[in-house]
């Protein structure tokens, strides 16, 4: 026995929808009048469990923390931090400032790792909230018959299969149930959140002919989590907990959440990290091999080396250099800059009504290749509106047709074409009267929105009445002054007092109301299916109000108008009335003799006979105005649009043609398919590989999931939109799940990566453009940071290879990588987007982050950075001037390059002396130990190396403005934020140079004006070198384009 209604060993579900009422009662061994016995209910609960959804335990906090270190770059950083901490601990015996400086590096790295872990855990701990939100839509109580008594408020979790439940209007259905009998003449249930249907559906107690029916086809079943909007009925519980349809959705969400994949960017960064690990390993090994001669010393005895001695001090020193290499090679600031750039992207998207819940989604949007969109509420407004009104003409056989604008419940949204309210004739007045009075809906105005209460079709009729207006001669200002949302409807309801209602039923397909007119006589006003009203009509009302016989010509014209509207997927409603009410002519309430006729719905058809037909309207859930252009933008951007809806096929096809998914005359026989037919298709992947738009109608949650899964298997990056409970599993499974903010359920929002504040498809397209721009900017700052890091690696490698003193220490490299490089890298995220960004096809998710040519450029620039930083170190020790810049003012002693490269043998040099030199206000003297000139005395040369590194990286940030565009074409001021960031970075560098305490921590000293001129002279050529490389890149790109053939769409490769 499993929890929530899952019975171990149960092989198949009893198809209650395909069985008669008596068969269902027999199967569940229950009486409709007595219900279950309490003892039986308790026994069944032990078998089926509680009627609730399972609670899946999410990953523990410890597991989440450990997962944060499942990243190559992070692991390298962790090793570097541990090693540097151990070395700092060993060196700590020396005390003083050296000890403090040594610990700065591991502490900063540990802090970076801790912050990264905290952010990651916080994001991932929200992942399972979709399942919690799903539980909130379950009903809490139910009216249940047990032991022959009605229990009005039994906790819904205590329900078991076989319970008899009474449902009333407004109730939330507590379990999946078979309708046994209708108490009212009709029952309508709003199940769109589960099935995607745009209107409430009628329920019946008649069985369905086929056992293999989709959810929409099970008309005698009501499902947990849906809402009764009209009528009341008696039901039999058939499935509870995890066996219910909503339970299946719960399982699918949980299953999808277990299959979360890394985003394209994270995959690329992981690949880059692995490559970096290999490179670091090779370079560290080379550094050790080059310097292994320093680890050992030996004496030659009789020509043979003997008395080997191992120098632990030298071994540790070169081990520190290897750690410095790791610190130099890893762009420590990259995770922080990427997070900052994505956060800035989310702010930009929020301004465009796209609320991003998960930061990596911003980048993933940029490589979206397929958008799977729900129809209802996303491509359409999910607000029924009248699109066409047909009224009677001046004579028999003549009709008048009016086009009606508007897509919302706002009465001021749109107008009626060719309309003159001053000439509102008797026929139009009767249409308005019936639409307003034979209507149970209402509309509320809250904030900037108009919301409907009741049936959407009836709400749209009330909006039509407002657009029609009031009869000529009536002072409408008195109604407007009352503040009513629907003043015209209020007018008609005051004119015609409703005294009885003939509820809608599926047999006659109409609804009628008996009203007492202000003239004192009773009228019957009827609306319903056009064909049914015509069958019961004998007359028509003409334009001037006169009544004539309904002849064959008029009937054919009306049916032709009906056919034309139906072919464009309009739902049609007809209007009729009756003046001669016979038994009801004097009806005034329940005490009237004719009232007993109203108690039996089978009498309604005879009461609604001999009608006078007045007109008809065509309604639809209209497409959003902006969607057509958004679909065109998708096509231009190489993004395929697939529409997946629970609505019927004809309606969906008409909408898809209108919004541009299909061309008006396109043959879509191979591109429009139902969910079930798709699942039975011989080659589903081949079907999905078709170019152009595709439509899947009558789709269930499992169909949506299968479509997303197959697309992802085929290498597509899938964005899935949805608003209902039924969309949640696919939202969770897609690369980008996009939920609706207004109409969306909490379940869909919690399962999504992004929420649309305006429920608008065009917002997705704008977000894709923003995602592409963000990716390009991320490439710019990754290009900048990696080339800088390669330069640092080259610097340390050359230092070790040449045997000169260490020019940059780890804490300086960490400062450059985290603080100095940070602001320019972040500012590159503000680069303006390319004008043609939505005219290019989406990049492939497996495209390399760094191409071979870009890597070659990195290496060239990096090599120059290494040469410049090491070169300026050598220049200070060996030259008194460079390029005409005098460097001798500080009084330092010059040495030969040979002495510099063999500085470790200084103690054996005879007569070696060093003069004191000044740096700022400090004076460095080496009378006691001249060899210290190559250790503590290298502080000025180190400062020059660090300053050259900072200056080169600032100039290099200008190179990163464009991958191949010259600075002459894209000058620095196109991104003023970058100029500001460069100023901040230089300011931070001056801060550590000229504040004594910070200068001691970083082991540097102030520089003179001449020394700054030297720094700039050595740093500036990096711009000239990259300009030449960009020129070569542009030439190669043009050559490649001219010789390559047009490539097919990647999924056809």
Using CA atoms, how far apart are residues 791 and 785, in angstroms rounded to an integer? 10
Q: Which residues contact 951 (CB under 8 A, 6 or more apart)?
A: 1015, 1016, 1018, 1019
Q: What is the pLDDT of residue 98?
A: 46
Give the 3-state secondary structure of residue 181. Answer: strand
Using CA atoms, how far apart are residues 169 and 160, in angstroms rounded to an integer? 22
Let me know: does 647 contact 196? Beta carbons within 8 Å: yes
Using CA atoms, how far apart are residues 420 and 427, in angstroms rounded to an integer? 14
Q: What is the pLDDT of residue 421?
A: 65
Phi-psi category of 403—alpha, beta or left, where left has phi over 0 and alpha has psi -120 to 50? Answer: beta
Measured in whole angstroms, the distance separating CA 217 from the mean position of its chain's CA atoms is: 31
Let me know: does 330 contact 76? Beta carbons within 8 Å: yes
Using CA atoms, how far apart are residues 159 and 240, in angstroms rounded to an integer? 7
Q: What is the pLDDT of residue 184?
A: 78
Token pair belonging to 39: 């003892």
Using CA atoms, how far apart are residues 806 and 870, in angstroms rounded to an integer? 9
Using CA atoms, how far apart are residues 993 and 1009, in angstroms rounded to an integer? 13
Token pair belonging to 628: 């057509």
Token pair belonging to 1029: 């490389």
Q: Which residues contact 587 (CB under 8 A, 6 or more apart)?
A: 499, 500, 514, 522, 581, 594, 595
The pLDDT averaged over each successive group of 10 residues in the chain (1053 residues) is: 41 84 92 91 90 71 69 70 72 49 68 67 50 50 90 88 89 91 83 72 87 85 86 92 84 69 66 73 74 69 72 69 66 65 74 76 81 82 88 90 89 84 83 93 82 85 90 62 78 89 83 88 92 93 92 92 86 93 86 85 89 94 84 88 85 87 86 90 90 87 87 89 77 86 72 80 82 79 77 80 80 74 78 73 69 80 89 89 83 85 81 82 81 83 90 86 75 85 89 84 84 91 88 74 44 41
Q: What is the pLDDT of residue 621?
A: 84
Using CA atoms, how far apart are residues 214 and 1053, in angstroms rounded to an integer? 36
Let me know: does 333 contact 316? Beta carbons within 8 Å: no
Using CA atoms, how far apart are residues 748 and 755, in angstroms rounded to an integer? 9
Phi, psi of 594 (to 5 degrees): -80, -5
Q: What is the pLDDT of residue 324?
A: 63
> How many CB atoms are closer than 10 A to CB 124?
17
Angle CA 237–208–24, to nearest 5: 35
Pairing status of strand 537-541 against strand 611-620? parallel
> How many CB atoms are closer than 10 A to CB 1047?
9
Let me know: does 242 contact 54? Beta carbons within 8 Å: yes
| Of residues 451, 349, 433, 359, the one with CA closest to residue 391 | 433
Count Cα neighbours of 346 within 13 Å in the Cβ-side half-sphere: 15
Q: What is the pLDDT of residue 131?
A: 39
Token pair belonging to 549: 């016989």
Token pair belonging to 864: 């120059």
Burial of 768 (0-12, 13-18, 19+ CB in 10 A): buried
In Å, how far are 692, 695, 704 from 642, measured between CA atoms?
9, 6, 11
Q: What is the pLDDT of residue 711?
A: 92
Query: DSSP letter at 199?
Result: S
Token pair belonging to 206: 């008649």
Q: Where are the alpha helices (DSSP H) in 226-263?
A: 245-257
Residues of 239-270 as b/e, b for ≥16 C-beta within 10 angstroms? Answer: bbbbbbbbbbbbbbbbebbeeeeebbbeebbe
Q: What is the pLDDT of residue 59?
A: 63
Q: What is the pLDDT of residue 1045?
A: 40
Token pair belonging to 919: 């740096």
Using CA atoms, how far apart are residues 1013 and 1024, in angstroms rounded to an integer? 18
**Active-site residues: which are they?**
374
Burial of 779 (0-12, 13-18, 19+ CB in 10 A): middle
Q: What is the pLDDT of residue 1047?
A: 39
């Amino acid at each position: 026995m499993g929890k929530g209604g899952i019975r171990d060993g149960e092989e198949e579900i009893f198809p209650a929808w395909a069985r008669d009422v008596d068969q269902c009662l027999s199967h569940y061994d229950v009486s409709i009048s007595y219900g279950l016995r309490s003892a039986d209910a308790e026994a069944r609960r032990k078998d089926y469990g509680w009627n609730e959804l399972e609670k899946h335990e999410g990953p523990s906090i410890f597991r989440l923390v450990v997962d944060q270190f499942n990243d190559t770059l992070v692991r390298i950083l962790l090793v570097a931090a541990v090693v540097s901490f151990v070395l700092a601990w060993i060196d700590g015996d020396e005390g003083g400032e050296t000890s403090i400086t040594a610990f700065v590096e591991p502490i900063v790295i540990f802090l970076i790792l801790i912050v990264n872990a905290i952010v990651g855990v916080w994001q991932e701990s929200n992942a399972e909230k979709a399942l919690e939100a799903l539980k909130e839509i379950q009903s809490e109580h139910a009216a249940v018959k047990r032991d022959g008594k009605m229990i009005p408020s039994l906790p819904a979790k205590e329900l078991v299969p076989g319970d008899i439940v009474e449902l009333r209007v407004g109730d939330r259905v507590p379990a999946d149930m078979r309708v046994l009998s209708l108490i009212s003449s009709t029952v309508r249930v709003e199940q769109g959140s589960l099935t995607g249907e745009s209107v409430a559906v009628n329920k019946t107690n008649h069985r369905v002919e086929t056992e293999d029916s989709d959810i929409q086809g099970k008309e005698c079943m009501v499902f947990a989590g849906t809402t009764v909007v009209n009528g009341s009925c008696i039901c039999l519980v058939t499935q509870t907990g995890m066996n219910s349809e909503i339970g299946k959705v719960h399982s699918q969400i949980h299953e999808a959440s277990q299959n979360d994949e890394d985003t394209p960017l994270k995959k690329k960064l992981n690949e880059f990290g692995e490559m970096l690990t290999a490179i670091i390993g090779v370079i560290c090994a080379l550094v050790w091999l080059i310097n292994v001669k320093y680890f050992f010393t030996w004496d030659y005895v009789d020509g043979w080396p003997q008395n080997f001695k191992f120098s632990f001090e030298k071994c540790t020193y070169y081990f520190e250099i290897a750690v410095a290499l790791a610190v130099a090679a890893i762009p420590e600031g990259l995770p922080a800059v990427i997070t900052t750039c994505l956060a800035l992207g989310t702010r930009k998207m929020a301004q465009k009504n796209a609320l991003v819940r998960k930061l990596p989604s911003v980048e993933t949007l940029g490589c979206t290749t397929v958008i799977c969109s729900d129809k209802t509420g996303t491509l359409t407004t999910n607000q029924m509106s009248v699109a066409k009104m047909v009224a009677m003409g001046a004579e028999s056989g003549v009709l008048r047709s009016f086009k009606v604008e508007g897509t919302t419940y706002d009465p001021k949204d749109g107008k009626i074409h060719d309309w003159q309210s001053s000439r509102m004739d008797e026929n139009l007045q009767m249409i308005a009267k019936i639409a307003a009075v034979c209507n149970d809906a209402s509309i509320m105005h809250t904030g900037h929105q108009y919301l409907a209460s009741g049936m959407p079709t009836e709400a749209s009729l009330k909006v039509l009445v407002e657009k029609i207006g009031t009869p000529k001669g009536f002072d409408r200002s008195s109604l407007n002054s009352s503040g009513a949302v629907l003043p015209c409807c209020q007018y008609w309801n005051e004119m015609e007092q409703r005294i009885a209602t003939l509820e809608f039923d599926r047999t006659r397909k109409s609804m009628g109301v008996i009203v007492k007119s202000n003239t004192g006589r009773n009228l019957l006003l009827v609306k319903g299916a056009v064909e049914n009203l015509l069958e019961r009509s004998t007359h028509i009302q003409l334009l001037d109000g006169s009544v004539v016989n309904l002849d064959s010509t008029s009937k054919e014209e009306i049916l032709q108008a009906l056919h034309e509207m139906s072919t464009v997927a309009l739902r049609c409603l007809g209007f009729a009335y009756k003046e001669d009410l016979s038994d009801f002519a004097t009806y005034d309430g329940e005490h009237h003799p004719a009232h007993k006729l109203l108690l039996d719905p089978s009498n309604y058809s005879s009461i609604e006979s001999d009608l006078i037909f007045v007109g008809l309207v065509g309604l639809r859930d209209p497409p959003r105005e902006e969607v057509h252009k958004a679909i065109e933008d998708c096509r231009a951007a190489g993004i395929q649009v697939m529409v997946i809806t629970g609505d019927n096929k004809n309606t969906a096809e008409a909408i898809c043609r209108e919004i541009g998914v299909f061309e008006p005359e396109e043959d879509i026989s191979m591109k429009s398919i139902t969910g079930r037919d798709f699942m039975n298709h011989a080659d589903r992947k081949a079907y999905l590989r078709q170019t152009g738009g595709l439509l899947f109608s009558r789709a269930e949650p499992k169909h949506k999931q299968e479509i997303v899964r197959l697309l992802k298997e085929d290498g597509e990056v899938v964005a899935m939109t949805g608003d209902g409970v039924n969309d949640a599993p696919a939202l969770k499974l897609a690369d980008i799940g996009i939920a609706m903010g207004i109409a969306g359920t909490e379940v869909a929002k919690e399962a999504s990566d992004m929420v649309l504040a305006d429920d608008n498809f065009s917002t997705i397209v704008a977000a894709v453009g923003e995602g592409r721009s963000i990716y390009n900017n991320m490439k710019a700052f990754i290009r900048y940071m990696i080339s800088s890091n390669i330069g640092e690696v080259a610097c340390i490698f050359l230092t070790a290879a040449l045997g000169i003193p260490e020019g940059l220490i780890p804490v300086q490299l960490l400062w450059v990588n985290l603080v100095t490089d940070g602001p320019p890298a972040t500012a590159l995220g503000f680069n303006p987007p390319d004008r043609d960004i939505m005219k290019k096809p989406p990049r492939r998710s497996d495209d390399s982050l760094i191409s071979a040519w870009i890597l070659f450029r990195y290496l060239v620039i990096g090599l120059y950075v290494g040469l410049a930083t090491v070169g300026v170190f050598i220049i200070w020790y060996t030259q008194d001037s460079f390029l005409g810049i005098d460097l001798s003012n500080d009084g330092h002693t010059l040495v030969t390059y040979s002495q510099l490269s063999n500085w470790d043998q200084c103690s054996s040099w005879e007569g070696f002396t060093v003069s004191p030199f000044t740096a700022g206000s400090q004076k460095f003297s080496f009378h006691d130990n001249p060899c210290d000139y190559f250790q503590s005395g290298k502080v000025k040369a180190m400062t020059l190396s660090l300053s050259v590194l900072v200056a080169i990286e600032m100039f290099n940030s200008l190179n990163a403005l464009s991958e191949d565009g010259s600075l002459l074409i894209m000058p620095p001021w196109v991104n003023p934020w970058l100029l500001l960031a460069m100023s901040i970075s230089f300011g931070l560098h001056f801060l550590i140079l000229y504040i004594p305490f910070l200068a001691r921590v970083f082991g540097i000293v102030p520089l003179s004006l001449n020394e700054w001129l030297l720094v700039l002279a050595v740093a500036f050529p990096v711009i000239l070198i990259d300009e030449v490389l960009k020129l070569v890149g542009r030439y190669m790109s043009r050559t490649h384009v001219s010789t390559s053939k047009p490539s097919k769409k990647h999924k056809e490769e």
